[in-house]
Amino acid sequence: MGRIKIFDTTLRDGEQSPGCSMNLTEKIEVAKQLERLKVDVIEAGFAISSPGDFESVKSIAKTVRDCTVASLARCTKGDIDAAWNAIQGAEDPRIHVFLATSPVHMEYKLRMTPEQVLMRAEEMVRYAKGYCSNVEFSCEDAMRSDPEFLKVVVDRVIRAGAMVINLPDTVGYTTPDEMREMIEYMIRNVPDSDKVEFSVHCHNDLGMAVANSLAGVRGGALQIECAVNGIGERAGNTSLEEVVMALHTRPNLYGEQPRIDTRQIYRTSKLVYNIIGQTAANNKPIVGANAFAHEAGIHQHGVLANKLTYEILTPESVGISTNQIVLGKHSGKHAFETRLKELGYELTDEQILMAFARFKDLCDKKKTVTDGDIEALIIDAGVPKGTENYKFVSFAVSTKGRSGVEGTICLRHENTYLEQTYCGDGSIDSIYAAIDRIICPPEHTLDKFIISAVSEGKETLGEVSLKLRCGERTYNGHGLSTDIMEASIIAYLGALNQFME
Ligand code: KIV
Ligand code: ZN
C-alpha cells in the first residue's frame, strides 16, 4: 500500500464534454488552482486534438511546477509526438497512451484483432518511452474487456515500460464488486504488477463512479482519475470533491490519504462552475448549497446537542466558512488581509489591493459583509475576464407599460464614452440589445443564462453566469454585484469582449 494519488482530468475528459469548454486563460487559471489543491497529476488536454488544445497543454506544462502534467495520446506516433512536444517543458511530464481492449471496441471501432491490439499497445508504449520515462497506459473500456485478454495486454505494456496501468470504466457499466475484483485479479496474476501503479477512471452513467473508484482502491489501485464537479463525457467522471472527501472521512478503509489540501475544494469547485457557466445542484454532495444545511427539526435538535449526530464532515474542512458577520466598512486593510489568510487565500500585494477596493465598495452597498461574500469576490477575481475592450460605466432601465422596457447603457471604449438605448421585452433583453448596438458583435446566441444568490437575504450579492455561442465557439461570462442587472451586464460584456478580441 502507498499513498493514493489524485489524477485530475477536468481539463481533458471534463473539458471535452458539451457545455464545459474553456479558453486558454481559463484553463491556465484552473490548472493553477489544481496545483493549489495539490492534485498529483493534471491531465492538461489531448495535444493532437486541435492547435488550441496543443497550446493549452504546452502553457500548462510550463506554468505548473508542483504536479505531474499529462497529455492524452492514442496509440499512434503522431499523437505521441504531439503529446511529447506539448508537455516536454513540464517539471514531471507524463504521456498517457490509450487503446481499447473490449471486444465491441476492437471489432467495431478499431477494426483490429486482439493480437493487433496487443502488438500496437506494446509498440506505442515503447515509442512513448523513448521520449519520457513517465508513461501511463489505459485499456479503454477495460471493464467490458475479457480479464484473460486484459491480463496479457497489461503484462505486455508493463514489459514495454508503462509505469501506471489505468483500467477505465469508460461507459459507466461496472459495479463496485466487479471493479475491486478486476484490480485484485490483475495484481495477483500479472507477473510484474508490483512494479507499477494501478489506476481507476470511472464514468457516472449509473451514478456509481465514486463508489466504483473507491472499490478499486480497496482492490489495490493507487491512482484515482477524477474531475472537479464530476464533469466529463455524458453523465461525467468521478467527482474529485466527493471521492477525496470519502477517503478523508473514512481513512481506516483506504490507507494513506492523498496529499490534497481539502480546504481548497470549495474554491476549486466554484472557480470551475463560474468558468463553465454552471452551478451546483442544491443537493450536490460537498459543494451544493444544502450539503451542510440541517432543515428538519429533529436534525437541528440533534446537531445543536452534538454535531456528530448528523454531521460526518465539516464545511470548514472543504473551505466553506460558516462565519456570518466578519468585517465592515470600518475594517482596515490589515484586518482584511488577515481574514483572507484565515480563509486560506494567499494573494499577491496587487491582488490584495484590488480585492480590498472591491470589499470597501461592497461595504458601501451592503450592511454586513460575510466570509461568503469575500470569497465570492476573490473567486470572481480569479475568473479570467479577457481584455476589457468595452468597459461598463452605467445603465438605466424604465418600464414603458405595454410597449416594453427601455434600457440605456453607457460603455467606455478606449477613451470614448458610448451610449445607446433600446426598447425590448424586458430589462435584460433591452440592455443586451443596447450593448449590441454599441459593439456590433457578429451573429450570436445566448446559450445559457444563470442567476444565483451568493448568500441569503435581500442584500445578497448576485452572480450571473452565461454562455454566448458564435458558430462552433462558445464564450463564458461571469458577473458579480449587489445589483443583478449590473452582474448581468458585466457577464455579457466579459463574454463579448472575449469574442471581439
Ligand atoms: O473513459 C475513458 O476510457 C477515457 C480514457 C481515454 C482514459 O477517458
Ligand atoms: Zn473517460
Half-sphere exposure of 423 (CA within 13 A, CB side): 6
Q: Residues 291-317: pLDDT tens digits?
A: 887 666 676 677 777 888 878 999 999
Q: Whose atoms come closest to the Cα of 227: which ligand?
A: 2
d(CA 107, CA 271): 41
Tell me which residue has its CA closest to atom 5 in ligand 1: 140
Q: Residues 466-487: pLDDT tens digits?
A: 999 988 888 989 999 999 999 9
Asked if residue 15 has its Cβ within 6 Å of ligand 1, the reply is: no
What is the 450 CA–ligand 1 centroid distance (Å)? 31
What is the 323 CA–ligand 2 centroid distance (Å)? 38
Give the global pTM: 0.86
Model confidence at 325: pLDDT above 60: no
Asked if residue 140 has its Cβ within 6 Å of ligand 1, the reply is: yes
The grid cell for 49 is 486534438
Rounded to an integer, the average pLDDT of 241-269 is: 96
Asked if residue 138 has its Cβ within 6 Å of ligand 1, the reply is: yes
Torsion angles phi and psi, residue 322, rounded to 5: -105, 5
Asked if residue 13 has its Cβ within 6 Å of ligand 1, the reply is: yes
Tell me which residue has its CA closest to atom 8 in ligand 1: 13
Better pLDDT: 364 or 248: 248
Model confidence at 318: pLDDT above 70: yes
Q: Residues 179-192: pLDDT tens digits?
A: 999 999 999 999 99
What is the 289 CA–ligand 2 centroid distance (Å)? 28
> To 10 degrees, what angle do helices 176-189 and 147-160 make?
50
| Residue 337 binned pLDDT confidence (cut-offs 50, 70, 90) | confident
d(CA 201, CA 107): 23
Write down the pLDDT at residue 472: 84
Could you tell me which residues come within 8 angstroms of residue 308 by beta carbon, excluding any fewer than 6 positions away? none
Model confidence at 90: pLDDT above 70: yes
Torsion angles phi and psi, residue 202, rounded to 5: -115, 140
From 170, 224, 233, 238, mutation site for ligand 1 pocket: most ligand atoms within 8 A of C-beta: 170
CB atoms within 10 A of CB 495: 27
Strands (E), 20-76: 41-45, 68-74
d(CA 20, CA 25): 14
Q: Whose atoms come closest to the Cα of 79: which ligand?
A: 1
- Asked if 22 and 243 touch (Cβ cutoff 8 Å), the reply is no
Q: Whose atoms come closest to the Cα of 236: which ligand?
A: 2
Tell me which residue has its CA closest to atom 1 in ligand 1: 170
Measured CA to CA in angstroms, residue 315 lies from 33, 298, 305 at distances of 19, 20, 18
Asked if residue 96 has its Cβ within 6 Å of ligand 1, the reply is: no
Alpha helices (runs of H) in 143-194, residue ranges in sequence order: 147-160, 176-189
Q: Which atom of ligand 1 is nearest to the CA of 72?
A: 6
From 7, 17, 72, 223, mutation site for ligand 1 pocket: most ligand atoms within 8 A of C-beta: 72
The grid cell for 277 is 457557466
Q: Is the dihedral of CA 464, 473, 411, 432 positive or negative?
A: negative
Q: What is the mean pLDDT of the chain?
A: 93
Asked if residue 136 has its Cβ within 6 Å of ligand 1, the reply is: no
Write down the pLDDT at residue 449: 92
Q: Strands 462-470, 445-453: parallel, antiparallel or unpaired by DSSP?
A: antiparallel
Rounded to an integer, the average pLDDT of 64-88 is: 98
What is the 165 CA–ligand 1 centroid distance (Å)? 12
Asked if residue 168 has its Cβ within 6 Å of ligand 1, the reply is: yes
Q: 469548454: which residue's cell?
A: 21
Amino acid found at 387: T
